[in-house]
Amino acid sequence: MQEFEIDANHKTPREINQAIKKSAKENDKIIIRNPNAMHYMVAGLTEPVEVLIDGSAGYFVGTMIHGAKIHINGNAGWFPADNMTEGEVIIDGSAGDGVGQGIYGGVVVVKRDAGSRTGEIMKNGTIIIGGNSGFMSGLFMMGGRIIVLGDISNDAGESIIRGAIYVKGDIKSLGKNAKVEEINDKDKTELYELLTNYGFQLTENDYENFRKIVPRSKRPFYGKESEEG
């Protein structure tokens, strides 16, 4: 594997991203040293390259990527993996608001806690939160799945249209157009395969505790909200 290292000290986000895009064409892995929680790192990368951020990242890390695999050895600020179309963003620590905002595909993993509006307006893909997720997680969610291993805060699934939010812990309250269902054997198998693949070791009883938040209606903004089916 051919690797390339970038020292982010005394560089601007533009300089870092230019260096990443140039080196991504010729290397399999890029390591960013001394990131110092810089904003907008690895923005718009379309090469299928591995990127290790050796420290914490700021706002909009991995925004609009297609195919890259980013591993953040620390925390991330607001909106990691914003509008990602394909790829993977793994955050070893916690993240701020808007994890996976608007993603069209790929996988986002936050090993610890996330802020509010996780998966806001996401269209597809998967978001895994290893700890708790804040208020209005799944806001205007249009597809895909969010998996929360801890608790989910107020107004979960607010105005959800499609997709599902799987929660192992407590659901503080539901948003408009959201309802809770029990998971089935197919759900449990998919959760087990996915979570095990990303290093989460759960017991059989843990999987029994999952519930899922789904839309009450596919057309909640046309007339009175009512449950379909």
Q: What is the mean pLDDT of the chain?
A: 95
Domain extent listing, the chain: 94-215
**Which residue did the predictor score with more confidence, 191 or 1?**
191
Predicted local distance difference test score (pLDDT) of residue 229? 45
Average pLDDT over residues 84-110: 98
Residue 107: enclosing H or E segment and its boundaries? strand 107-110
- Rounded to whole angstroms, how far apart are CA atoms 212 and 120? 17
Taking the CA atoms of 131, 175, 137 and 65 in sequence, report the sign of the dihedral they define: positive
Average pLDDT over residues 160-165: 97
Predicted local distance difference test score (pLDDT) of residue 218? 78
- Rounded to whole angstroms, how far apart are CA atoms 178 and 3? 46
Average pLDDT over residues 187-214: 97
- Rounded to whole angstroms, how far apart are CA atoms 145 and 104? 11
Helix, strand, coil shares of the chain, percent, nearest 5, are 15, 30, 60
Average pLDDT over residues 161-168: 98
| CATH code, residues 94-215 | 2.160.20.60
Supply the DSSP symbol for 188.
Answer: H
The pTM for the full model equals: 0.95
The answer to whether residue 221 scores a pLDDT higher than 70 is no
